[in-house]
């Protein structure tokens, strides 16, 4: 019995002296890394806890340079007590600054971590953790780009007292991001040949512990976009110049369709945490652009340093994808035959203009691509000096014109009328009206709002039906009934004139 009691007592003592905890870290992002440095070990006895300074951190607290911690010249128990008292009495703001100091020292001195864990989405758990006071560091994180409610510690690291079995902490685990816009929108609309201005926005991250830092914008252009030039690069509102020496300003390069903009000597902005970084550049929508529902996607990321112990290691932010849409219309040329049925009409020619005057300067030049499914396909010519091409209807009567902008007024003029048919009474004015999904940037559908001969209408698709009247009708009056009345009236007038002449002759006789 005595032996059993002694064994149980020993087991109880061991359990009490060596408890383990499971730490839950909220607000983490999947695929990152969290490092834990044990600054103090802890032994808990009932409600009291005793802390012992980790030998790795003794030089940090006792160095003459850091005498502000009140530990210079102290050793063993006195050192542990003095170090813990200093940390315990820190206010929230003082703790933030202290965390930066001890993190930078830990990284610079290559202090061994007690745990290194890969993070999971939303929250991450660290199991089998000894009691103690820990520096919890989300490697590569910053405190700038995302605001998370309930977080007071604005740092990529946090001091955590772990003396319970299941502690939970909320960390601000945001990482460098890029926000890409076209005219302050998440999507763009353009015609072939148009220049598009993109704006990329990020922020100077927290670079605690780094002696150098890589910060690059990497922008992937679709085949329908041709890079033109960088307009500006600013940090904190200050303009940077392009510099090929890699010491100041920024460098730019483009490899195939990937534009890279790197800010040189980025570590020089270490004290500018939170300053806005803005890049603007222009690209041209070219003849390879997709049209209609298919988007010309353009995505940007930030490539940034994510490990102060190895500054060659980088991570990449979540891509911000901005689609650009270009549109098309289908002109269906037809007439009504003698049986009252709709019949496709070939040989009708059209030109497209930007103004009602339809002058040579107003013409939007077209180029012929090919025939597809019986349709003749034309698109806007990116070469403004190109020769004028007339869009002619084939046997199907279908002319497709690609590469048009949305919510832009165009004027369609019939320039060639088939034999035995009357020309249109005037211009067809139209604009393409798109509608987007609830995400605000995915194109759902588009239709055409047009006006012809004082009549306005919205199509339910991108088809513009254009009817030509036969030559038997007077184009400015209407149908055959009017023609009959007109001819009859002219005959009556002729008869009356004849009778009048005959009557005058009789009077002279």
Average pLDDT over residues 11-25: 70
Q: Tell me if domain 20-170 and domain 181-325 are identical in fold.
A: yes
* Residue-averaged pLDDT of the chain: 87
Average pLDDT over residues 425-452: 95
Q: Which residue has the higher pLDDT, 231 or 488?
A: 231
Structure tokens at 346: 């070939």
Q: Which of these, 137, 93, 98, 94, lies nearest to 114 by C-alpha position?
A: 137
In this predicted structure, what is the pLDDT of residue 12? 44
In this predicted structure, what is the pLDDT of residue 2? 56
Which has the minimum average pLDDT: 63-72, 338-347, 357-366? 63-72
Angstrom distance (rounded) from CA 107 to CA 109: 6
Of the pLDDT bands very low, low, confident and very high (cuts 50, 70, 90), residue 325 is very high
CATH class, 327-467 region? mainly beta
Burial 61-100 (b: 16+ CB within 10 A, else e): bbeeebeebebeebeeeebbbbbbebbeeeeeeebbebbb
Of the pLDDT bands very low, low, confident and very high (cuts 50, 70, 90), residue 333 is very high
- Contact in structure between 225 and 286 (CB atoms under 8 Å): yes
| CATH 1.10.10.10, applies to 181-325 | no
Say if residue 471's pLDDT is above 80: no
Q: What letter would DSSP give residue 423?
A: P
| HEC secondary structure over 29-83 | CCCCEEEEEEEEEEEEECCEEEEEECHHHHHHHHCHHHHHHCCCCCCHHHHHHHH
Burial 258-268 (b: 16+ CB within 10 A, else e): ebebbbbebee
- Contact in structure between 198 and 183 (CB atoms under 8 Å): no
- Contact in structure between 138 and 173 (CB atoms under 8 Å): yes
- Contact in structure between 471 and 420 (CB atoms under 8 Å): yes
Which has the minimum average pLDDT: 86-90, 153-157, 377-381, 465-469? 153-157
Residue spans per domain, the chain? 20-170, 181-325, 327-467, 478-509
Structure tokens at 393: 């209807």
Q: Which residue has the higher pLDDT, 305 or 384?
A: 305
For 116-126, the pLDDT digits (tens) are 999 998 899 99
| CATH 1.20.120, applies to 20-170 | no
Q: Is the dihedral of CA 339, 345, 347, 349 positive or negative?
A: positive
Most confident region among 167-171, 308-312, 327-331 by mean pLDDT: 327-331
Average pLDDT over residues 429-436: 97
- Contact in structure between 344 and 415 (CB atoms under 8 Å): no
What backbone torsions phi and psi does residue 78 show, to the nearest 5 degrees?
-60, -40
**% of the chain residues with pLDDT over 70:** 85
For 256-277, the pLDDT digits (tens) are 899 999 999 999 999 998 899 9
């Amino acid at each position: 019995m005595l032996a059993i009691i002694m064994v149980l007592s020993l087991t109880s003592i061991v359990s009490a002296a060596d408890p383990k905890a499971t730490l839950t870290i909220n607000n983490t992002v999947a695929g990152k890394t969290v490092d834990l440095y044990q600054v103090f070990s802890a032994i808990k006895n009932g409600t009291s806890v005793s802390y012992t300074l980790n030998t790795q951190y003794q030089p940090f607290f006792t160095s003459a340079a850091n005498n502000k911690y009140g530990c210079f010249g102290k050793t063993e128990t006195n050192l542990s007590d003095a170090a813990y008292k200093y940390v315990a009495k820190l206010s929230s703001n003082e703790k933030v600054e202290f965390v930066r100091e001890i993190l930078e020292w830990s990284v610079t001195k290559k202090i061994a971590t007690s745990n290194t864990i890969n993070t999971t989405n939303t929250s991450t758990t660290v199991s089998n953790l000894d009691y103690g006071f820990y520096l919890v560091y989300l490697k590569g994180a910053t405190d700038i780009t995302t605001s998370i409610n309930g977080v007071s510690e604005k740092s990529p690291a946090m001091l955590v007292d772990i003396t319970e079995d299941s502690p939970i902490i909320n960390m601000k685990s945001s990482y460098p991001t890029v926000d890409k816009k076209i005219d302050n929108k998440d999507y763009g609309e353009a015609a072939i040949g148009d220049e598009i201005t993109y704006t990329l926005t990020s922020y100077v991250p927290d670079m605690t512990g780094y002696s150098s830092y890589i910060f690059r914008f990497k922008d992937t252009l679709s085949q329908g976009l041709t890079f033109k030039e960088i307009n500006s690069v600013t940090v904190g509102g200050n303009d940077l110049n392009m510099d090929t020496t890699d010491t100041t300003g920024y460098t730019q390069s483009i490899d195939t369709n990937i534009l890279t903009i790197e800010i040189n000597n980025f570590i020089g902005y270490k004290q500018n945490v939170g300053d806005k970084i803005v890049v603007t550049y222009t690209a041209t929508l070219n003849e390879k652009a997709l049209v209609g529902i298919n988007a010309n996607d353009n995505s940007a990321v930030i490539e940034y340093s994510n490990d102060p112990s190895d500054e060659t290691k980088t991570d990449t932010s979540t891509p911000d994808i901005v689609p650009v849409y270009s549109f098309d219309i289908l002109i269906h040329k037809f007439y009504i035959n003698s049986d009252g049925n709709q019949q496709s009409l070939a040989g009708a020619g059209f030109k497209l203009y930007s103004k009602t005057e339809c002058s040579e300067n107003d013409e939007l030049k077209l180029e012929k691509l090919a025939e597809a499914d019986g349709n003749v396909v034309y698109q806007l010519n990116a070469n403004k000096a190109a020769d004028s091409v007339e869009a002619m209807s084939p046997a199907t009567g279908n002319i497709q014109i690609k590469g048009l902008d949305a919510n832009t007024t165009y004027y369609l003029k019939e320039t060639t009328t088939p034999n035995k048919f009357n020309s249109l009474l005037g211009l067809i004015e139209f604009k393409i009206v798109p509608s987007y999904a609830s995400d605000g940037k995915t194109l759902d559908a588009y239709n055409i709002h047009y006006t012809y001969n004082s009549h306005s209408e919205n199509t339910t698709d991108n088809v513009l039906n254009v009817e030509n009247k036969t030559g038997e009708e007077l184009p400015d009056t209407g149908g055959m009934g009017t023609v009959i009345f007109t001819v009859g009236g002219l005959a009556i007038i002729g008869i009356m004139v004849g009778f009048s002449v005959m009557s005058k002759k009789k009077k002279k006789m």
